[in-house]
Amino acid sequence: MISWDDFQKLDVRVGKIIEAEIFPEAKKPSYKLKIDVGPQIGIKKSCAQLTVNYSLKDLIGKLVLCVVNIQARQIGHFISEVLTLGVPDIKGECILITPDRNVPLGSRLY
């Protein structure tokens, strides 16, 4: 079990997907995303395996939850700066975690 202090080290914020494109170099079908995480954090890049459940046009404007204080990860020639959060559906494919109401970009999960 982790402590409350350990949990609070995760910085999970609300962002809005502003760009999405196919990531052909990825080993598994994926999208490259640009996510606006509000004025304090700015626009960040992420890579996510969402191609089964989301089209590119479905993603634009979608609010998502992202871990913003995670170490950047290089995936091929792409640097993923934030971890976009999701859970698997019954087939194991990613479903994004989204707020059920409109909230300010950059709002922190607590």
Render pLDDT for 9-37 as a digit per residue (tens, 0 to 9): 999 999 999 999 999 988 899 999 999 99
CATH numeric code, 12-96: 2.40.50.140
Q: Has residue 76 got a pLDDT over 90?
A: no
Specify the higher pLDDT residue, 66 or 77.
66
**Residue 74, SS3 per DSSP:** strand
Question: Is residue 37 within 8 Å of residue 105, measured between CB atoms?
Answer: yes
> How do the domains of the chain map onto residue ranges?
12-96
**Residue 58, SS3 per DSSP:** helix
Whole-structure pTM value: 0.94
- Residue 103 sits at the vertex; the CA angle it makes with 80 and 17, to the nearest 5 degrees, is 30
Q: How confident is the model at residue 110 (pLDDT cuts 50, 70, 90)?
A: confident
